[in-house]
Structure 1
């Protein structure tokens, strides 16, 4: 099976920006998402998380695509409790697989499949559990607008060497809206809601972003910046953050 190539008409800057707003588009992309969050714990520590997020669509027969979305975090955290010190290392990898029809009906796009939690993280940033569950996305595109919802739930099913760690049962829900202009500038708003069913705690950051597709030689690259406010957080959680995203695009 070979990666799916987007139609030639969709390789313009605006077409690429529209595809980036679609989590299951026929576009190979490699985002590097830099997230800075402030004011953890009594020491008001900060955290930098770099998410490496390759997205690879694969053709499955004549009617379906399989889109793989991987998130590998690289984390550097400052001192959150005085005298304890900071930490750095990999976080756990989350890998989603969406089976999605190739042809959208009236701009409506959907995809469903499994999501897998891989315990790749260092001790400070890992649940030390293997996990899995369902994931789904649905969205509507037209007139430069994208409205959608991405969701998943992960349950742990096996330990990774630390049986004393709590089990994982976590829900993620992300409503999003994006306005793309003809020059490829895109304005986005999303809410990355997480609920931990074990600790009964919410994390609800609201993100506002702006991005633009540039050409560096023959390489199209999307650059974006954003700000984040935590509408809900557990005790000791962050209160605000900022985001910078560089996305390498590989249309064919």
Structure 2
């Protein structure tokens, strides 16, 4: 598993290097950061809400899933998910490194396991379009979580995102489904779907309200235990860290109106997203 993790990290660092190394050789650091700081909060906030924007970003998204089982235990998932655009924004890559903490559900206290879960890599090809912006490509799940935090299966499938940006709104949805195709033959097969619906309303001066529930379905489970459907929302603000570096801060609270018998009742999400617009790496 350690070798697999190191390989995955090497791939991501390689992608970053290919995209930024040549431009960084020509960058005038102070003046570029000043231009970045002068970019409007509204533009940066709108770009941060668009998963297909030509925008390098480093989100740290923490999800606290609350009230599992008879002892109302909580699981915590910190998703470190760098987004790297390539080829002038024609290809958008996102890799999710989930760091999880799983409690001992059979007791009122205690931990079962913590560490890296299965890594998820997605690449979206973004064709030129007017009105509706779309992206499509593969989603690949790497079995880096071991026997407790992961499926021990290699899984893959299609991923698709579409969005519109009328006025101060960004509205869209991302959907993917992954099936296992290799891995530990003693473990259950993987067949699950994710739907991320998002709606963001810009309020001005970097402030916004949003709702981005992540709906999931496990097609291998019994019918009554397949779906988790959250309902809720929150908001956030774009700020300039040190007056120069864009940082998008947000928080939402969701109640799972549909959930399995053994599933979380609530989810509290907090995210800090560092933004690096690609003009930061433009040649002078």
| TM-score (structure 1 length as normaliser) | 0.90
Q: Secondary structure at the residue paired with 2:87? A: strand
Q: Secondary structure at the residue paired with 1:132? A: strand
Matched, 1:165 2:191: no
> What per-residue deviation string (whole Å, max 9, x for no partner) do you get for residues 77-114 of structure 1?
2221128942211111111100003x5413x2110111
Contact 2:68 2:264 in 1 (8 A): yes
User: Whose helix proportion is higher, 1 or 2?
Assistant: 2
Query: What pairs with 1:186-205 in structure 2 (closer than 5 Å)?
Result: 186-200=208-222, 201-205=226-230
Query: What pairs with 1:43-82 in structure 2 (closer than 5 Å)?
Result: 43-59=71-87, 65-82=90-107
Shift of 1:29: 0.4
Q: Which runs of 4+ in 1 moved over 6 A?
A: none
Query: What pairs with 1:49-198 in structure 2 (closer than 5 Å)?
Result: 49-59=77-87, 65-82=90-107, 85-86=110-111, 87-101=113-127, 103-106=128-131, 108-159=132-183, 162-198=184-220
| Counterpart selection for 1:2 from 8, 15, 19 | 19
From the CA coordinates, give the structure whose radius of gyration is larger: 2
Number of residue-to-residue matches in the alignment: 243
Paired with 2:254 and 2:42, the residues of 1 have a C-alpha distance of 25
1:34 corresponds in structure 2 to 62
| Counterpart selection for 1:224 from 234, 241, 250 | 250
Paired with 2:109 and 2:245, the residues of 1 have a C-alpha distance of 44
- Structure 1: where are the runs of 5+ without partners? none
How much is the aligned-residue C-alpha RMSD, in angstroms?
2.2
| TM-score (structure 2 length as normaliser) | 0.80
Contact 2:103 2:109 in 1 (8 A): no
Shift of 1:230: 0.7
- Structure 2: where are the runs of 5+ without partners? 1-17, 24-34
Q: Secondary structure at the residue paired with 1:32? A: strand
> What per-residue deviation string (whole Å, max 9, x for no partner) do you get for residues 45-64 of structure 1?
1111100011111016xxx6
Shift of 1:37: 1.5
Q: Secondary structure at the residue paired with 1:166? A: coil
